[in-house]
Structure 1
Amino acid sequence: MDFPGPSTHLFRALQVGFHSSYSDSEAFQTRSGNVSKPREHMLLSLTNNTTAIACLCLITSVIILRILRQGLTNPLNKVPGPWYGRWTNIPLKLAVVCGRRIHYVHTLHEKYGPYVRISPNEIAVNDPRGFKQIHGIGSGFTKAEWYLHLVDLDRPGVFAMTDQKAHAVRRKMFARPFSKTHLREHWESTVREKVDLALSRMQGELRTAGIVDVLKWWTLMATDVSSTLMFGDCFHTLEDGEVNEYIRTLTRTLLGQGIGAELPLIRTVDKMLPLQAAKELFRNNDYLMNYGMVAVDNMKSQQGGKNIFANVMAEAEKGEKLQDADVQVEATGLLIAGTDTTAVSLTYLVWAVLSHPTVKNALEAEVDKLPQGYKEADLETLPILNGVIEETLRLYGAAPGMLPRAVPSAGADVGGFYLPPGTVATTQSYSLHRDPSIFPEPESFRLERWYDATSQYRLNDTAKAIFSPFGAGSRTCLGIHLAYMELRVAAVGFFRQISKNVMLSPSCTAECMEQENYFLIAPAGHKCEVMLKG
């Protein structure tokens, strides 16, 4: 039963009821001229109220019947899950609001298995075969409308596009500028410059205060790298030692997007009852897009590829051109994608390595052997460094949560269950990367998984196939090579210049580092402090 149709008819009935009751009251007055005006108005009001209540009861009945029908006849009823999953998504949404979605869904997988119904029209999949079927190229599963709610813009960027053909055209334009070769040729020097400055500022703070928050400085470093590449205009947050208003607004917006994507009704209520607190979360797009004109102006400058969009436009000479509004959207989106993600990953990397002295000693010994003038390409061959990075991304990747996909219009059979059209199938790397049948001792930080073929923890083909810290299939993150460049250069710098003299601060507890999840993750304590030894 389609609710909008019946509700429209019922509201019309409500309207007719009001008119009918009013006509009846007029007839009564004609027949009984001695009826007092107050009594007449009272009878009219009573009739109107009775009609309204009856119609509202009918509307409520329609809603209840619709819920009952869906709960009793939906093919998803065969999918395991909590009893309430077929009736409501409220427990799931509460987990979202509390920043606990990945933990909530993971707990359900542990209890019910690899296929779990987590809401009336959504299932969570934690199975390698299901993962491949959903995210494989040409699978027919497309990005769900959730992504459009996430960005809440009139024209989505490459990240949020749900139209596969439009996405393929747009992604092709970015392919070469974001390739490993192009980044090393044009932007490696920028990355190294910002990393060196971040390390210098950390060392200065350690000398004066004896303690430093690495999350803060990695965030400033990633911000300056991303703003230089995307806008052609560095924000200079490393020099200032704090984020600017643009980044503060961006951070609030990211939180609002994570909540708004899961609870789109909140945005509707905000438009009806505008509140200052809601404004800070949901109504920043004009400000962000206006700042995006900096990227447009620098793209058009005659100074020779001042930002990465100049390279993108060069690639698009014979194809689709980016409009100014597209550049604004893409610059903002790529800045979001390249800032908190890199900063959070580096923060967890430092925390994990400093928590494992044997790993720390091995990594320091490896990077100390690098010659002067080494290049980022040289770092790609270091087994311990890259094992540390990959194991960090497995356990603490910045975007380990849902990757929602819309089931094809013909429906699909996944894992032995029929998923009707309109169903959303989601996977989360947080759970896939913690499957003990794929990753032995999944909660243990074992970098030898990634380079030691004789290790009992070595990766098999299945593990390699479902390793997805940057997404999967044709929607893998555009900035993957930039991310690895920043992770390698920054990690090498930290463990050559700083790590030997520091240890984790007592404030850096397991509770402080628990993963808080609003689309991206962050340490629950919103800091990761290290201090000088002794």
Structure 2
Amino acid sequence: MLDTTHAWLLLPGAAILLIIRSIYRLYFHPLSHIPGPKLAAVTHLYEFYYDVCTPGGGRFLFQIEKLHRKYGPIVRISPREVHVNDPDFYDEIYTSSSRRREKDPFWVPIFSISKSMITTIGHEHHRFRRNLLSNFFSKRSERINKLIQRFEEFHHSKTVVQLDDAFAALTADIITYYGYGKLWEFLEDKDFRSDIRTATTEVSGICHLNRFFPFLDPLIRSTPDWMVHLLAPGKTAMLDFQQSILDTVMDPASQETKPGKATTLVHKLIDPELPPEERTKKRIEEESLVFLAAGTETTGRTLTIASYHLAQNRDVLERLREEVKAVLPTTTSTCTLLDLERLPYLTAVVNESLRIATPAMNRFPRVAPDETLVYKEYPIPPGTPMGCSPFFIHRNATIFPNPEKFDPDRWTRTNGKTATGERLDRYLTAFTKGSRACLGINLAYAELYMALAHLARRVELELHNTGPEDVKICREFVIGYTKRAEPRVYARVTGVLQD
């Protein structure tokens, strides 16, 4: 055993090693030619400070924005990671499956899960898991009429409705129906209670802490539930929700399907024809949690932001309503999703809502394991995590002039092209792109088209005690947060159209 004297002698040695490592990272590391702050090149504590230690946390993304203003479009933001703020380079980072892109292992702990497709590191393994589930996100939507019915109730009772809760309940009902073949009826709840949203908020709130201390989540999982409820109440909703998922999955009625003939997401996950390691209890639980959380909060967030801006811009709402009347001439009319997708102004409103909302803001870095990418005069060696936040692309003033303004007309001016002639929707990256793009993109678009069309056609909303600060995003925990919490929008239903 070392005595006190020998222990103190270790300190100078440790300091010397830190100095040597810092010199290596600054001058001899493969990324030493990439511009950026020296402190970020030396230590991960730079990122840790902004994401964990600043008031409220989640501030590093906005610090990256400042770094780009100072250093240019490519910045070394940590000892091992590069961020590129150039919309025209986005497709190089988030490319198709013909070019290998893998997850950065440092980011796997962010979601408190390890067996889901979203945290699968390897390119081939991810593609296998993605193909298993892709058929369950076709272009269909449900439950819109129930939402309108609830709004009618709020109108008659003159009750203020919290729109973000209402839309989260809508999207939660839709995703659970397609995931499990039964409704969990969140829309029926008096206050639109959604266990999925509560669990999502808890997981996202500790995502940055999980990255820097990946041992915390396994430690919590190995702790008895009663102790977690006592010591870490912030984890209880997620644990309770995961248990409800397992209860549903293990219900004999949920498992009644023939091998190879899966009819819902859960049937596919427990298909006996899958390799045993792909249908473990942990994988089923985590894959379910990811799809339910992602399918609830992101689309619900977009509908919330869209409703806020439509209520603020009466001229936009009236134009949208008049166009929708072409396929919904009465409030009881029905139409197909294809009918709605053919409406140019509705499409513009959907695209602008996704751009403004940017529901998933994180940079989600990718790794090219066997390819050197070159950005201008900067080679980026294989194995380097690199990212580009969709938040920056959607706020790029060259592509989207006056980017803070909700302006659906930008998608119809000049035939939906930029000043350089590029298609504007090329730069809509709300679902990311490439081989790891959001699997639920078709379902999300279906929900947005259906919900916004029927709301514009049938409901009048007036904002209540809600201003710009209630929707202004200034923190990032994968999804965006305001100074206080997730965006919250309150409204009164001032009218329900009858013809």
TM-score between the two structures when normalised by the length of structure 2 = 0.84
CA distance in 1, matches of 2:268, 2:5: 68
Match of residue 215 from structure 1: 164
Give the counterpart of 1:509 among 447, 454, 467.
Answer: 467
Q: CA deviation at 1:405?
A: 1.2
CA distance in 2, matches of 1:172, 1:532: 42
Q: CA deviation at 1:378?
A: 1.4
1:90 aligns with 2:49: no
Task: Give the length in aligned residue pairs.
Answer: 474
Q: CA deviation at 1:312?
A: 7.0
CA contact (8 A) 2:151 2:493 kept: no
Give the counterpart of 2:132 among 166, 173, 180.
Answer: 173
Give the counterpart of 1:487 among 442, 448, 451.
Answer: 448
Whichever residue aligns with residue 107 of structure 1, its letter is K
SS in 2 for 1:159: helix
1:358 aligns with 2:311: no
The alpha-carbon distance between structure 1 residues 457 and 56, as it changes in their structure 2 partners (threshold 3 A), is closer
Q: Which has the higher contact order (CA 8 A, sep 6+)?
A: 2
Q: CA deviation at 1:139?
A: 3.4
Range 212-221 or range 303-312, more displaced: 303-312
Match of residue 210 from structure 2: 260
Match of residue 474 from structure 1: 435
Q: CA deviation at 1:363?
A: 0.7
CA distance in 2, matches of 1:222, 1:455: 29
Whichever residue aligns with residue 295 of structure 1, its letter is V
Show structure 2 runs of 5+ residues with no match.
none
CA distance in 1, matches of 2:277, 2:42: 46
Q: CA deviation at 1:406?
A: 2.2
Match of residue 249 from structure 2: 295
CA distance in 1, matches of 2:276, 2:339: 36
Q: Give the helix-richer structure, 1 or 2.
A: 1
CA distance in 2, matches of 1:415, 1:163: 28
The alpha-carbon distance between structure 1 residues 299 and 327, as it changes in their structure 2 partners (threshold 3 A), is farther
CA distance in 1, matches of 2:67, 2:75: 7
Range 196-205 or range 346-355, more displaced: 196-205
CA contact (8 A) 2:37 2:77 kept: yes
Match of residue 28 from structure 1: none
Whichever residue aligns with residue 376 of structure 1, its letter is L
Whichever residue aligns with residue 7 of structure 2, its letter is A
Give the counterpart of 1:279 among 225, 232, 237.
Answer: 232
The alpha-carbon distance between structure 1 residues 202 and 481, as it changes in their structure 2 partners (threshold 3 A), is same
Q: CA deviation at 1:335?
A: 0.2
Match of residue 74 from structure 2: 115
Q: CA deviation at 1:173?
A: 1.8
Q: CA deviation at 1:426?
A: 1.2
The alpha-carbon distance between structure 1 residues 151 and 329, as it changes in their structure 2 partners (threshold 3 A), is same
1:381 aligns with 2:381: no
CA distance in 1, matches of 2:301, 2:36: 32
CA contact (8 A) 2:172 2:186 kept: yes
Whichever residue aligns with residue 139 of structure 1, its letter is R
CA distance in 1, matches of 2:182, 2:204: 21
Whichever residue aligns with residue 174 of structure 2, its letter is V
CA contact (8 A) 2:111 2:207 kept: yes
SS in 2 for 1:239: coil
Q: CA deviation at 1:214?
A: 0.7
C-alpha deviations, 1:472-499, integer Å up to 9, x for none? 1011111001111111111112112212
CA distance in 2, matches of 1:336, 1:60: 44
CA distance in 1, matches of 2:410, 2:195: 42
Whichever residue aligns with residue 323 of structure 1, its letter is R
CA distance in 2, matches of 1:493, 1:522: 28
Show structure 1 runs of 5+ residues with no match.
1-14, 19-47
Q: CA deviation at 1:337?
A: 0.9
Question: Matched residues, percent identical?
Answer: 23
Whichever residue aligns with residue 22 of structure 2, its letter is I
Q: CA deviation at 1:151?
A: 2.9
CA contact (8 A) 1:80 1:117 kept: yes
The alpha-carbon distance between structure 1 residues 370 and 245, as it changes in their structure 2 partners (threshold 3 A), is closer
Give the counterpart of 1:134 among 66, 70, 93.
Answer: 93
CA distance in 2, matches of 1:176, 1:275: 37
CA distance in 2, matches of 1:339, 1:424: 28
In our comparison, the structure showing a higher alpha carbon Rg is 1
Q: CA deviation at 1:225?
A: 1.6
CA distance in 2, matches of 1:331, 1:456: 38
SS in 1 for 2:204: helix
The alpha-carbon distance between structure 1 residues 355 and 411, as it changes in their structure 2 partners (threshold 3 A), is same
